[in-house]
Copies of this chain bind each other. A is one copy, B any other.
Amino acid sequence: MFSTQAQVLYDFTAEPGNNELSVREGETITITNRNIGGGWLEAKNSRGEVGLVPEDYIEINQAKPFTSGGNAAPLDLSFFDSHMPTPASTAQVDVAQPETPVTPVTPGFSSTSPDETSNGNDPWAVFDSNASGGFSNNWAAQPEGTETGKTSSNAWPSGGQGHPQAYQGPGAEDDEWDEEWDDVKSSGGYAESEAGEGGAINRGGAHGSSMKIALNKFPGFSKSGPELYLLSKLPAKGTKLSVYTGEVGPVWAYPDYQLDCVVADPKKGSKMYGLKSYIEYQVIPTTTNKPVIHRYKHFDWLYERLLEKFGSAIPIPSLPDKQVTGRFEEEFIKMRMERLQGWMSRMCRHPVVSSSEVFQLFLSYKDEKDWKMGKRKAEKDETVGVMVFSTIEPEGLPDLDLTEVEQKCEQFNRFTKAMDDGVKDLLTVGNEHWKRCTGPLPKEYQRIGKAFQNLSSVFISSGYEGEAVLTDALTAAGKTYEEIAQMVAEQPKKDLHFLMETNNEYKGLLGCFPDTIGVHKAAIEKVKEADKLVAAGKITPSDKITMSKRASTMSYSLQAEMNHFHSNRIYDYNRVMQQYLEQQVKFYEMIAEKLRHAHGQFTTM
């Protein structure tokens, strides 16, 4: 059933010594082993070289016969029977998953992101074209056993190398902090240590990028996942997640007390007789005020759990880049901590996420045993992926018809796409401004300052009497411009930094929406096909009603999430713009004040 031929979608350069195989976009390779795991496949190129390639970088050729069938192709629902795993079977399918889950390596996170240059991979375009088209063959043409995650990888927005590089300078490179992941090596097999090392494919830029929704747990169901929930006969498991009618429409149930936490006090730890070092952070929840200790890999574990559990309904932004590097250790640690803080605060602010068992465990485990047990339990959670919708209950809200559901979905898609563009634009401009403010502009003010002081020195040498007032004033003016140069260079850290960080966070959040909305889109398409499925005897009329009802629930969930997003967005942008403008005002006032002082030193004639 599986062809061994595959097409390379993006360039991939092998890391020496890792059994990897360099491949070029457009190259045809032969898959020699699919059972590597951890997002890797073994492949052979035309020169007979064999090595590992990331599965998201390639497209298995067999998919073609199906997609080329188009609208006229007969419905092939065979996968419906053969590939619909029950939640119980999910765990079995997942055997290849290592104990400590590893973020799948993904295209678009390297510094030359293919997604950024190729319009064909625009994650938003997929939905836009669906929106304008009529009959969709998403359902019918779903290829069997497409395990490569190609469709899913299409939905991944570009990682982009934005803000961080701008003020961290060009010196970014792998550093010893990658060794935080070394303990993963000792705990598992080959695949884990490869991905775990993070050396093969740079994860840099993951902050401010998309999530990978947890659907990859179910092979063959990347975007066709929703039917798992839409037609599920199983009773809902796990905590109920209510959606209420608020002033602005459907809203999540918000807790009375807003959780928050502080990430602080980074400490360097080491193991293996000091050969391996890592950083430990204190995480102090405002509820208990009792600090817990976490390493970056624990945050990453939490991210994986949240993504798996909530990713279909809630955009879970990526963690800050694992490989964001500063020129100095301190700078790096500070930056990562600041961003972990931002990520944690955002998670704390989310009523669904913050009240989840796994998040509570992370924030307030009692001891090592408690943590380990909680971890195991969380990893065995079956209400993940689209099944999270089974726990959502719209309270006193009428069922929505499909047109309404679709309209809402389209509206959110349009908005998040537009905001994604706007945010990226601001980041680009901000990045350029950052460079100018820290580069050529202060240099110029410094040169002006030097030119004034130089002229003053010449004047002093004149031997002409009575020009001390002028020369002193001219020297002072020169020094003032040197001070201004310094101020200009340091200002971005005081204002632009926060504007950039906030927009970077939003870029990350917005990058999750194509996946989240994609799940809804897929569900809508499936409900649209319900009549045909009933006619073909594949589902019962009762199933059709259930599907429609469940699509309505999904829509309420999405609306609640969008309203949560909007409310946070208004708060965040209000706050960051105020902060930015306040600092800008101070900056210009201080310059004016300095120049006024310099002006006062000249004689009034």
Interface residues of A (CB under 8 A from B): 247-248, 411, 414-415, 418-419, 421-423, 425-426, 429-430, 432-433, 436, 440-441, 444, 447-448, 451-452, 454-455, 457-459, 461-467, 469-470, 473-474, 477, 563, 566-567, 569-571, 573-575, 577-578, 581-582, 584-585, 588-589, 591-592, 595-596, 598-599, 602-605
Given A444-B429, A473-B577, A577-B602, are A458 and B592 neighbors across the interface (CB < 8 Å)? no
Q: How far is the CA of A436 from the CA of B445 in the complex (A)?
A: 11
Interchain CB contact under 8 A, B422 and A451 = yes
**B residues in contact with A477, CB < 8 Å:** 577, 581
* Residue ID in chain B nearest A436 by CB atoms: B444
- The 7 A-B pairs of least Cβ separation, nearest first, read A581-B599, A588-B592, A464-B566, A426-B451, A422-B455, A589-B592, A422-B458
A-B contact pairs, 23 of them (CB 8 A): A248-B464, A415-B463, A418-B458, A419-B455, A419-B459, A422-B455, A426-B452, A429-B447, A429-B448, A429-B451, A430-B448, A436-B441, A441-B441, A459-B573, A466-B570, A467-B570, A473-B574, A474-B573, A574-B602, A574-B605, A578-B604, A581-B595, A589-B592
Tell me, rounded to whole Å, the shortest Cβ–Cβ distance linking A41 to chain B: 40
Question: Counting chain B CB atoms within 10 Å of each CB, which of A441, A462, A466, A589 scores highest?
Answer: A462
* Residue ID in chain B nearest A432 by CB atoms: B444
Interchain CB contact under 8 A, A461 and B418 = yes
Our pick among B415, B426, B470 for the contact of A574 (Cβ within 8 Å) is B470
**B residues in contact with A248, CB < 8 Å:** 464-466
Per DSSP, chain A at the interface is helix
Interchain CB contact under 8 A, B422 and A470 = no
Interchain CB contact under 8 A, B570 and A599 = no
Q: How far is the CA of A454 from the CA of B581 in the complex (A)?
A: 18
Given A465-B248, A563-B464, are A444 and B433 neighbors across the interface (CB < 8 Å)? yes
Question: Counting chain B CB atoms within 10 Å of each CB, which of A414, A425, A578 scores highest?
Answer: A578
Q: How far is the CA of A430 from the CA of B448 in the complex (A)?
A: 7
Tell me, rounded to whole Å, the shortest Cβ–Cβ distance linking A584 to chain B: 5
Q: How far is the CA of A418 from the CA of B448 in the complex (A)?
A: 17
Q: How far is the CA of A447 from the CA of B430 in the complex (A)?
A: 9
Our pick among B419, B447, B578 for the contact of A599 (Cβ within 8 Å) is B578
Q: How far is the CA of A588 from the CA of B423 in the complex (A)?
A: 28
Q: How far is the CA of A248 from the CA of B462 in the complex (A)?
A: 12
Question: Counting chain B CB atoms within 10 Å of each CB, which of A248, A414, A474, A599 scores highest?
Answer: A599
Tell me, rounded to whole Å, the shortest Cβ–Cβ distance linking A448 to chain B: 5
**B residues in contact with A589, CB < 8 Å:** 588-589, 592
Given A566-B464, A574-B602, are A585 and B581 neighbors across the interface (CB < 8 Å)? no
20 new A-B contacts at CB < 8 Å, known A415-B461, A574-B602: A248-B464, A418-B458, A418-B461, A422-B458, A423-B455, A425-B455, A430-B451, A432-B444, A433-B444, A464-B563, A470-B574, A477-B577, A577-B602, A578-B604, A581-B596, A582-B599, A585-B592, A588-B592, A589-B592, A592-B592
Given A592-B585, A595-B585, are A425 and B451 neighbors across the interface (CB < 8 Å)? yes
Tell me, rounded to whole Å, the shortest Cβ–Cβ distance linking A511 to chain B: 16
Tell me, rounded to whole Å, the shortest Cβ–Cβ distance linking A311 to chain B: 23
Tell me, rounded to whole Å, the shortest Cβ–Cβ distance linking A580 to chain B: 8
Our pick among B415, B447, B467 for the contact of A458 (Cβ within 8 Å) is B415
Q: How far is the CA of A461 from the CA of B412 in the complex (A)?
A: 10
Question: Counting chain B CB atoms within 10 Å of each CB, which of A414, A451, A454, A567 scores highest?
Answer: A451
Q: How far is the CA of A575 from the CA of B602 in the complex (A)?
A: 8
**B residues in contact with A423, CB < 8 Å:** 455
**B residues in contact with A577, CB < 8 Å:** 473-474, 477, 602
